[in-house]
């Protein structure tokens, strides 16, 4: 298997909590914002970019994959790290190998300059085992004056944790980045 520049590799295999379901080696999935040609071998290539971003070309990198109530969610980064509109969109599906459920309202995390929140991007979802609670861990850029994003702010980041809330239909409620602690 060969990798080209611009590819983010994700390994996926759904397993039971005790990993008994992980019978085979993880299945590699590839997501690319560029031409996906050139990957060889017996891999599964998902051309998810066109489906998720539709007529947009701003998908750049990273995908967080998590399960909730038998749905598989993909959180995808839009725009580049230095772009003021660096943000997170999502889609879900019953399986990564089935058609995606793409909502028109799939933007879940973005800057809120009046709160001093910029560059909300790379993320992970943490699910607690004893409840139905999920939290999103992400980074944001720290402007020196908290009111304007200067070019060097992309090098100054802070990590945040906010509750990730899902609606009964499986859609994700947009997050409002906070400066305070979660309870």
* Full set of structural domains in the chain with CATH: 54-164 (2.115.10.20)
pLDDT in tens, 89-117: 888 888 776 777 777 788 999 988 777 77
Splitting the chain (183 residues) into consecutive groups of 10 residues, what average pLDDT does each group show?
45 50 51 45 46 54 78 84 80 77 85 78 81 82 62 69 89 82 56
Name the DSSP class of 158: E
Q: What is the pLDDT of residue 157?
A: 75
Q: How is residue 153 written in tokens?
A: 């702010």
Q: What is the pLDDT of residue 39?
A: 47
47 burial via Cβ count (<10 Å: 0-12, 13-18, 19+): exposed
Q: What is the pLDDT of residue 3?
A: 43
Q: What is the pLDDT of residue 65?
A: 81
Task: Indicate the pairing of strand 27-32 with strand 44-45.
Answer: parallel
Q: What is the pLDDT of residue 37?
A: 44
Helix (H, G, I), strand (E, B) or coil at 165: coil
């Amino acid at each position: 298997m060969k990798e080209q520049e611009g590819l983010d590799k994700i390994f996926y295999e759904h397993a039971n909590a005790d990993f008994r379901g992980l019978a085979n080696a993880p299945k590699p999935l590839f997501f690319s914002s560029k031409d996906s040609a050139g990957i060889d071998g017996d891999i599964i290539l998902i051309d998810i970019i066109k489906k998720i971003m539709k007529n947009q070309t701003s998908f750049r990198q990273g995908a967080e994959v998590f399960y909730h109530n038998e749905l598989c969610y993909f959180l995808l980064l839009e725009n580049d790290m230095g772009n003021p509109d660096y943000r997170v969109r999502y889609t879900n599906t019953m399986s990564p190998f089935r058609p995606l459920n793409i909502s028109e309202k799939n933007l879940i995390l973005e800057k809120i300059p009046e709160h001093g929140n910029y560059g909300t991007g790379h993320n992970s979802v943490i699910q607690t085992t004893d409840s139905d609670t999920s939290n999103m861990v992400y980074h944001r850029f720290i402007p020196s004056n908290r009111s304007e994003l200067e070019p060097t702010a992309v090098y100054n980041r802070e990590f945040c944790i906010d509750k990730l809330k899902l609606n009964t239909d499986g859609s994700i409620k947009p997050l409002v980045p906070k400066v305070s602690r979660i309870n």
